[in-house]
Structure formats: structure tokens, C-alpha cells
């Protein structure tokens, strides 16, 4: 565990990054601008490049700005330990899939519904932690998962005072696609996160080096996906078509996300991540309602959001040990 200053700093950055990414990504995908809309697959590739370059600079800084030390550590990890590097291909490919799913989800769901529904990743992460890492969850943790599922169900509960029936019929398919993308992203997030944690705990190498390895595979998978799904449009107008200041902000925030998660793994814990997630939900809901005006919150939604926030806090709560513990 790092110093309190770094813990609170990682909390603040995580809140900023999560909230800002959701809102700007949603705004960028729904913005009516002249010319073609930017390619989501291209944004994923550019974000990976940004993350790799930033991590290289951080490793360079860790080794006292020595180019010789930087070359040595990169050669050692990439050339002399190829099997260790290949282990990162699995979570990297899944992260790339997840990043593309987030664009699909936010193109078909409002920001607040997406943000709360995406908290199902806590459930998938817990299940993968138990099965892959052998973690044991206490009564508070399992209770939080039940509360979480109830909260997400309430968030998705249809409101009678929403849009007209004709508009609901037109948007039903879009909402289903968005919800499916979120659920798949939750499963991929849980598995990839636990797998990455398993790798970090088995080695003593810097988390920034591991992020470079993740980014290299992510870049390969990202380019392959871009060429497979948007190859013709890239040939016609280039991979930077439709880019503007909002697009570059989205890309930068997505790259920052990889660095923030690394910092959270290094300095924070579940309680801090719970605070960050809950604050992000509140901020995303309020800003989505006031700024994007694409969400009309109901009482049922707020009840579900409250349950999700309670579950998030409860998941990180371990309880106080008894003064005279009894043995089972």
C-alpha cells in the first residue's frame, strides 16, 4: 500500500478519468458534426499508442533517465523472456475487445445507464477472483453482490413516463445492442483484470513494463480490428477521419485509463475503488441529465443507483475483527 497522498491522488484521478471518459465518449458519438464520424476502432489504436509511449517515459524515469538501462530492461523482457511476454497477449486481446464494446455500448445507451450497468464487472471480477486466484469472499462481499444485482435490475426497469411508444419501439433494438455490449464488456473486464493481477503477483517487474507489453499486443489487435471492420473507410478517408478536439480528448482519457488502473493496483484498494466508482456514478448521472440531456432519471433509477453504490462500498468492507475471535 502506498502513502496516503498517493492513495487519495489515485482516487481523484480515477473519478476524473472514469466520469470524463463516459461523458465525452457519449458526447463524441452523438455529436452532429459535418463530415464522417470518427472511427471507434481508430480511436482504440491511437489510445494504445499513447499508453505505450507514456509507459516508456515512466520506465525511463524509473531508471534515472538512463537510455542504456531502458534498452536493457526492454530487451530483457521482450527478447529474453518471450513466454512471459506472450502471457500478456490474452488480456491484451480481451482489453481491445472491451474498448471497442464500450464505444458500441455508449453509442446505444445513455451515459448514466451505461455507468451503473457496467458495475456488474464487480460481480464478474469476484467470480473470476474466486475461481482463478482462490480468493475467499466474506459475508459482506457476497451480500454486496446480491445488492448489486438488485440495483442493476432496477436501473434497467422500464419507466412508464419515458418516451412515446413509437420512439420506444425504434430505440428498443438499439438499447438491446447497448446492453449486450455492456454485459460482454463486464465479463471481459472481470477475466482480463483478474488474469492481469495474477501475472503481476507472479512477477516482480514494474507494472509500467507490463503495461508496455499489454499495449504492444493491444496495438496489434487494434490495428487488425481496424483493418477488418473499417478497412475500406480507412483507405478512403484515412484513420484520422472525423477527428476533432473532442475526439482527441476521448483518446487521451482512454489512454489515461490504462495508467490509472495500474496506479490503483499499486497504491489503492477495494475501498478506494468503491469511492471512485460511486462518485463517478453520481457525477455521470448529474452531468448526463444537465449537459447531454439524454437521460430522464426516475425514482426507480435512483433507487437502483443507490443500491449499486451501497454494494460498491460493501464489497470493499471487511468488517472489524472481534477482540476475542472464536475458532470454528
Question: Are 28 and 245 spatial neighbours (Cβ–Cβ below 8 Å)?
Answer: no
**Cα–Cα distance, 300 to 121 (Å, whole number):** 21
Alpha-helical regions (H) of 203-244: 207-237
For the residues of 275-307, what is the DSSP string, one character each? Answer: HHHHHHHHHHHHHIIIII------HHHHHHHHH
Cell readout for 126 is 469476484
What integer is the mean pLDDT of 321-328? Answer: 42
- Nearest Cα neighbor of 25 from 13, 8, 10, 37 is 37
Is the pLDDT at 21 greater than 60? The verdict is yes
Instruction: Between 107 and 320, name the one with better pLDDT.
Output: 107
pLDDT at 25: 82
DSSP state of 120: G
Mean pLDDT over 65-85 rounds to 88
Residue 171 above 70 pLDDT?
A: no
Query: Cα separation of 274 and 309, whole Å?
Result: 8
C-alpha cell of residue 168: 420506444
Distances from the Cα of 256 to the Cα of 13, 18, 213, 259, 265, angstroms: 9, 10, 16, 5, 14
**What angle do helix axes 207-237 and 165-202 make, rounded to 10 degrees?**
140
Would you tell me how many other CB atoms lie within 10 Å of the CB of residue 223?
Answer: 17
Cβ atoms within 10 Å of 136's Cβ, excluding its own? 7
pLDDT at 40 over 70: yes
Q: Please report which confidence band the pLDDT of residue 68 belongs to, taking 50, 70 and 90 as the band edges.
A: very high
- Give the model confidence (pLDDT) of 245-263 as tens digits: 989 999 999 899 888 877 7
Q: pLDDT above 90 covers what percent of the chain? A: 16
Q: What is the mean pLDDT of residues 24-41?
A: 78
- Give me the residue spans of the domains in the chain: 4-158+171-316
Among 34-43, 105-114, 267-276, 290-299, where is mean pLDDT lowest? 267-276
Among residues 259, 308, 269, which one has the least CA distance to residue 285? 308
DSSP states along 250-284: HHHHHHHHHHHHHHHHHH--HHHHHHHHHHHHHHH
pLDDT of residue 115: 67
Q: Distance between CA 124 and CA 317 in Å, rounded?
A: 18
Residue 223 banded pLDDT, cuts 50, 70, 90: very high
Q: Is 155 exposed, middle or buried (0-12, 13-18, 19+ CB in 10 A)?
A: buried
What's the length of the chain? 328
C-alpha 258: how far from its chain's center?
Answer: 8
| pTM for the model | 0.73
Amino acid at each position: 500500500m502506498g502513502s496516503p497522498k498517493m492513495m487519495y491522488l489515485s482516487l481523484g484521478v480515477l473519478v476524473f478519468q472514469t466520469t470524463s471518459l463516459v461523458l465525452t465518449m457519449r458526447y463524441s458519438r452523438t455529436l452532429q458534426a459535418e463530415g464522417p464520424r470518427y472511427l471507434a476502432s481508430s480511436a482504440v489504436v491511437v489510445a494504445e499508442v499513447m499508453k505505450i509511449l507514456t509507459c516508456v517515459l515512466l520506465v525511463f524515469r524509473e531508471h534515472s533517465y538512463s537510455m542504456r538501462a531502458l534498452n536493457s530492461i526492454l530487451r530483457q523482457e521482450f527478447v529474453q523472456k518471450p513466454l512471459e511476454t506472450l502471457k500478456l497477449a490474452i488480456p491484451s486481446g480481451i482489453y481491445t475487445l472491451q474498448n471497442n464494446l464500450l464505444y458500441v455500448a455508449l453509442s446505444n445507451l445513455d451515459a448514466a445507464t451505461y455507468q451503473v450497468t457496467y458495475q456488474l464487472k464487480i460481480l464478474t471480477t469476484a467470480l473470476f477472483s474466486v475461481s482463478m486466484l482462490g480468493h475467499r469472499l466474506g459475508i459482506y462481499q457476497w451480500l454486496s453482490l446480491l445488492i448489486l444485482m438488485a440495483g442493476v435490475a432496477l436501473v434497467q426497469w422500464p419507466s412508464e413516463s419515458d418516451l412515446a411508444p413509437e420512439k420506444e419501439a425504434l430505440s428498443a433494438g438499439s438499447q438491446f445492442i447497448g446492453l449486450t455490449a455492456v454485459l460482454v464488456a463486464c465479463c471481459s473486464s472481470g477475466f482480463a483484470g483478474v488474469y492481469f493481477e495474477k501475472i503481476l503477483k507472479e512477477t516482480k517487474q514494474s507494472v509500467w513494463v507490463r503495461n508496455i507489453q499489454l499495449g504492444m499486443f493491444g496495438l496489434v489487435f487494434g490495428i487488425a480490428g481496424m483493418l477488418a471492420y473499417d478497412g475500406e473507410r480507412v483507405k478512403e478517408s484515412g484513420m484520422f477521419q472525423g477527428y476533432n478536439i473532442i475526439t482527441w480528448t476521448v483518446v487521451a482519457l482512454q489512454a489515461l485509463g490504462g495508467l490509472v488502473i495500474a496506479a490503483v493496483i499499486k497504491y489503492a484498494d477495494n475501498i478506494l475503488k468503491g469511492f471512485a466508482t460511486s462518485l463517478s456514478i453520481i457525477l455521470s448521472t448529474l452531468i448526463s441529465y444537465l449537459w447531454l440531456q439524454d437521460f430522464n432519471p426516475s425514482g426507480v433509477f435512483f433507487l437502483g443507483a443507490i443500491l449499486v453504490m451501497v454494494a460498491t462500498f460493501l464489497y470493499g468492507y471487511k468488517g472489524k475483527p472481534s477482540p476475542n475471535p472464536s475458532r470454528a
